[in-house]
Structure 1
């Protein structure tokens, strides 16, 4: 599904497509991609609204699973810790936040698997 009917956010399929495109850009431009997974927020709708309003417009906020959201961010340097910290400030301490940063050399499924483990 391209867009999630509950949140209005991009759905899982669109997230995967955007992740793949971001990884290609990272590989060809020498940039980085950070994927942040936010699991079990108290209110998925509130978290989705807060993230869309509080993050840069070029970040993708998507519904990842039933009780999980994802944020996809492209950046020039560093790791995902500042992005994860900003997300924590926006959604609070109750959700679990997992993230990974890639230079584009890792396939999309491995990026997701790594984010899920961290």
Structure 2
């Protein structure tokens, strides 16, 4: 499914495609990609709306699965900690957040697996 009917966000398949494209850009341009998985304890549509309006427009906010949203961010330096902190602030209600930053040296499945383990 390309778009999730509950949240109106990109779905899992579109997230994987965008992640793959972001990793290619990171590898070829020397930038970084951060993937943040957010387990939302409250209303998923409200959290989706808060992230979509509170984050930069070039970040991808997607529904990863069930009550988990994903944020995909491309950036020039650093790691995902400032992005994760902003997400915590926007979602509130103490969401569980797992994140990973990559320089594009691995595939989308490995990035997601790493984020899930953290």
Bucket of the pairwise TM-score, normalised by the shorter protein: over 0.9
2: CA distance, partners of 1:56 / 1:93:
21
Equivalence for 2:95? 95
**Contact (CA 8 Å) 1:26, 1:104: kept in 2 or not?**
yes
Equivalence for 1:33? 33
1:19-61 CA distances to partner (integer Å, 9 max, x unpaired)?
0000000000000000000013311011000000000000000
1:109 matches 2:115: no
| Runs ≥4 residues deviating over 4 A | none
Tell me, what secondary structure is at the counterpart of 2:97? strand
Equivalence for 1:60? 60
**Contact (CA 8 Å) 1:41, 1:47: kept in 2 or not?**
no
2: CA distance, partners of 1:44 / 1:91:
10
TM normalised by structure 2 equals: 0.98
1: CA distance, partners of 2:52 / 2:15:
15
Equivalence for 1:46? 46
1:75 matches 2:68: no
**Contact (CA 8 Å) 1:62, 1:71: kept in 2 or not?**
yes
Equivalence for 2:86? 86
Unaligned runs of 5+ in 1: none
**How many residues are paired up?**
118
